Amino acid sequence: GSSLCLVMAQRLVRKICPHCISDYHPTEQELKDCGITPEEAAQINFKIGRGCVHCDNTGYSGRTGIFELLTINPEIRRIIYEGGNQDLIEEAALRNGMRSLHDAAIIKMKEGITTIREVIKMTIVE
């Protein structure tokens, strides 16, 4: 048997300042960069921090983690043993229910914790 059972990746995204949070209407380019369709956008209450004395006019206060967990199941173990590349492993992981860092960031955005700009910035790094 193998001793590898789980691989975790994490990133930190900035949290919207609770003192100056307000509604935000993203641009078409922001939606495109984030991979969100206009139909999906209509269902999301986007937020942004305007900037205030509490956040030093940044619109953000603190950070929160987003996580991607790759469980090494029999299919992924086989791909690894056979020398499969990252794309094959990622396809199998997503097929088996892994949530990507991007998807985790989208959830934080939909919850009003972070902004679409943070999601885009995180995705560029990914």
Give 3's contacts (C-beta < 8 A, 6+ positions apart). Answer: none
pTM: 0.84
Does the structure show a pLDDT above 90 at 4? no
pLDDT tens digits for range 39-97: 999 999 999 999 999 999 999 999 999 999 999 999 999 999 999 999 999 999 999 99
Over the chain, what is the mean pLDDT? 93
Domains and CATH numbers, the chain: 6-125 (3.40.50.300)
Three-class SS of 13-76: EEEECCCCEEECCCCHHHHHHHCCCHHHHCCCCCEEECCCHHHCCCCEEEEEEEEEEEECCHHH
